[in-house]
Amino acid sequence: MDNSDLEYVGFWARVGAALIDTVVLLVIITPALVAIYGWEYFMADGLVKGPADVLISWVLPAVACIWLWHKLRATPGKMLIGAEIVDAETGEAMSLGQSVIRYLGYFVAALPLCLGLIWVAFDPRKQGWHDKIAGTVVVRRKGGRTQPVTFKDQRIG
């Protein structure tokens, strides 16, 4: 595939994908938390309510996100907008290590008033700090078509 068929995915498309991913996660996580802790879970004080809360609210989303990025190159939200996360240098799938680093990079990007996430809007390659840290970019076919993005030995952009 020619690189001219690709575009970097911008801020608002990525916000939309993140909102879709959040809804998907809530649909999965909320019933599990209610089944274990009851509706009082949402009224109780404190960040962590117990060991199941840690597994359901923190570990499950991390594992699911990293697995989806590594195996499918995208979360459900990114799939719906036809976007894929790839290695910034090769255009190939991210390594497992890049997926983990990218996930941890979200925390770094979010800490200073989400500046590292907003950075996507101003960066020429539409990379947030988490992308820069992990060496990834988010791309899709021009026009947002939802066919899979695949390339071989080509640098993007």
- Could you read off the pLDDT of 10-43 as tens digits, one per residue? 999 999 999 999 999 999 999 999 999 999 999 9
Distances (CA, A) of 98 to 71, 102, 104: 12, 6, 10
Average of per-residue pLDDT across 58-68? 97
List the one residue out of 156, 100, 84, 92 whose CA is nearest residue 133. Answer: 100
Chain segment 3-15, per-residue pLDDT in tens: 668 899 999 999 9
Chain segment 108-151, per-residue pLDDT in tens: 999 999 999 999 999 999 999 999 999 999 999 987 555 555 54
Average of per-residue pLDDT across 46-68? 94
**Looking at residue 11, what is its pLDDT?**
97
Distances (CA, A) of 107 to 69, 103, 117, 121: 17, 8, 10, 18
Q: Is the pLDDT of residue 102 over 80?
A: yes
Average of per-residue pLDDT across 51-75? 96
